[in-house]
Structure 1
């Protein structure tokens, strides 16, 4: 058998087996890579090279941005901004039928973009919105489904660590361009969920929020403005070249710490827990990056991406068909795998195919992240699904039915973003980032 083909079978076959028997995904990536490497090179070379790749994979200035953004997100999650952003969201969608459901969506978009975490967004916004919706006689399963479906929208609206990971794995795609490319798709995803929720709310005759006076509106905006300013400061600084993404992430930590002190929601006794949470999260991500560096080396050495490219191109050379196939693959991956390892594993495999058919790496990055955002809302292992249903105290089986209705606008958004590249690339091109 051809060594490259054997390495491909061993790599993915052993990886699937290791996942099925419950091995942690980072360990599974490393072990599968070592087993595949045994089919290609001597053991002494594997030992030396794998160790080198493990450490060189995380020896990156760019990776510091992930650590800082995670720390900033932890501070913001505990800093009392959720309620302020929810009150602001009500100003935009409060006069629509099912206003609390729409407020949940907009709240997730705002909070997710600031915290950089769909899970944190589902927990923070859901914990505030679910009791309010229950009081207004909303179906708890519908409320949970809206919260779960909209939580990943903030992963597309910057700043977000998902695009930083993609930039690292894709060979240095501009982080500024990726950040700007996420805005329209993220907003479109949120609006599509609002549209579907509107029709459901109108059918169920869910209530409209009370009218807000001009004075109250001004107070709400001023209350939320300091939190929203984080996005302006960080993203504006990165885009204008004042600082790099890593420096911008450090600024985000400083800004969020000052904001938390201003809101007086965090005590000195909370700081160790916040730091511990950040250390645990970054430790997981960095080990994943290191293990995936070994996998990337094995795939490159065995020409595995090229084999997969040739296989897909043998099916069709039509970009429309190939993009559809990649979407199907990524949606299936997202069902069983969390977003960070999926980016690390499948970017080196699918990006060469995308560039081969003329897809810009920035555009493909948005397609990839959007697919995986949908994946974290799906059973059986969707992290946003588990957190959202747990916060709402509703069984996953009950949430599934209303959630399936919300998958329709999410998939339509995915197809629009996939086949109309201007949705992703308009803002980066207008700002001269491409």
Structure 2
């Protein structure tokens, strides 16, 4: 029955995606089809509905709408402009200065806002036209923007790390947040190296080095925004508040910041709240749908079957991690990050646990894998945002993307096979 269930699940899910059915509905419908192998129609439908409801009935998930709202407030509150100005003053004089500014700003914005799409939208709007004026091709500018935007999903605070904590059965969110810093920064550094090599090769002009007074003034201007990271992460790690409480504090902090910067007023709030609510609804629907599929997989004993199949191929940790990475890279091409984390964590976590791999380390590996998928067609949401903001086509972006893909894959390989890159910081705080 397991083989039949896997065939029905894969065939129905891929066929639904192929004919253009939205991902969440494809997950729900294929889960129903699979469950009908073992359960009558009415109980099957009822079970899926119940599992969707219970899947989002989690206190930890309250952090997601709050972080989404704080991201919207940051995006509209003038934070992006101040982070860009600070990055310009620090690295603008280096080869490929504007590309480096994009990468550093995206790392800061992504970590503050917790959203790759918000970062890609903000950086593309602010820096895209400026990069074109200085001789950067539009395709290269988009490639820089979308790949750097994903670093904010690894550098905390990150909604997807909260989702992984839920899917893994309660891995510490504080530990996951700390574990993301070094891999996220490492990925950003590799992207910067690619950008500098490209700029030197194409002999792009460099800017003048800014005086220390300018660097200091832009830092002071951006300081309140950067302090959000200290408040949120510091509060969680020190045990002052939980991740959920931290997300609510982030909303209050960013709202006050928006009013101080005079970029937000009471007239803007309904629009901001509506957009945040819309995004939250989409994310929660995806989570509910994915949790129902996860339950169906467990009910049909599919994770155990896949685990035993992988372990029968090899018991070598290096080989198993390579197979999992290749699988996740392939999955990321066709599936959005949230459902992928919720569906594949219960499948692969028992395998890596048997090999002695820390679930915190595996979580970072999984997120880095799926970040690459966000930049690839046909489902790459960040790719579509970046292309849309720049008003160009995917075809023009794919060639410049390749060196950045290789940089991200190299970072993934290092993080996969050097566990201390993920585990050193959590160990410092005994997490």
Short-chain TM bin: over 0.9
* 2:92 is equivalent to residue 63 of structure 1: no
1:353-390: per-residue Cα shift (whole Å, max 9, x none)?
A: 11122211111100010011111111233112122122
Structure-2 separation of matches of 1:205 and 1:76: 35
Structure-2 separation of matches of 1:390 and 1:37: 39
1:39 to 37, 40, 52: 37
Q: What's the TM-score once normalised by structure 2's chain length?
A: 0.97
1:84-163 equivalent positions in 2, closer than 5 A: 84-163=82-161
Query: What are structure 2's unaligned runs of at least 5 residues?
Result: none
Match of residue 205 from structure 2 = 207
Moved more, 108-117 or 397-406: 397-406
Match of residue 296 from structure 1 = 294
How far is 1:14 from its partner? 1.2
How far is 1:48 from its partner? 4.0
1:16-415 equivalent positions in 2, closer than 5 A: 16-415=14-413
Moved more, 205-214 or 398-407: 205-214
Structure-1 separation of matches of 2:81 and 2:31: 45
How far is 1:336 from its partner? 1.5
* Helix, strand or coil at the partner of 2:267: helix
Structure-2 separation of matches of 1:297 and 1:17: 21
Moved more, 118-127 or 265-274: 265-274
Structure-1 separation of matches of 2:249 and 2:68: 13
Structure-2 separation of matches of 1:97 and 1:327: 33
Equivalent residues, number: 431
Is the contact made by 1:82 and 1:125 (CA closer than 8 Å) also made in structure 2? yes
* Helix, strand or coil at the partner of 1:148: helix
Structure-1 separation of matches of 2:290 and 2:389: 32
1:376-425: per-residue Cα shift (whole Å, max 9, x none)?
A: 11123311212212222332211111111111111110100011110011
Is the contact made by 2:291 and 2:343 (CA closer than 8 Å) also made in structure 1? no
Structure-2 separation of matches of 1:251 and 1:388: 30
Is the contact made by 1:109 and 1:154 (CA closer than 8 Å) also made in structure 2? yes
Is the contact made by 1:156 and 1:186 (CA closer than 8 Å) also made in structure 2? yes
Moved more, 206-215 or 71-80: 206-215
* 2:26 is equivalent to residue 15 of structure 1: no
Structure-2 separation of matches of 1:403 and 1:432: 39
Query: What are structure 1's unaligned runs of at least 5 residues?
Result: none
How far is 1:44 from its partner? 4.8
Is the contact made by 1:7 and 1:40 (CA closer than 8 Å) also made in structure 2? no
* Helix, strand or coil at the partner of 2:268: helix
1:238-284: per-residue Cα shift (whole Å, max 9, x none)?
A: 11000000000000000000000011111322211111111111111
How far is 1:293 from its partner? 2.2
Structure-1 separation of matches of 2:257 and 2:228: 9
How far is 1:217 from its partner? 1.5
* Helix, strand or coil at the partner of 1:358: coil
Match of residue 429 from structure 1 = 427
* Helix, strand or coil at the partner of 1:151: helix
Is the contact made by 1:181 and 1:363 (CA closer than 8 Å) also made in structure 2? yes
1:116-145: per-residue Cα shift (whole Å, max 9, x none)?
A: 111111110121111221221222222221
1:45-86: per-residue Cα shift (whole Å, max 9, x none)?
A: 424433322211111111100010001111111111111101
* Helix, strand or coil at the partner of 1:209: coil
Structure-2 separation of matches of 1:245 and 1:48: 32
1:291-342: per-residue Cα shift (whole Å, max 9, x none)?
A: 2222122111111100001111122111111111111111111111211111
Structure-1 separation of matches of 2:99 and 2:41: 57
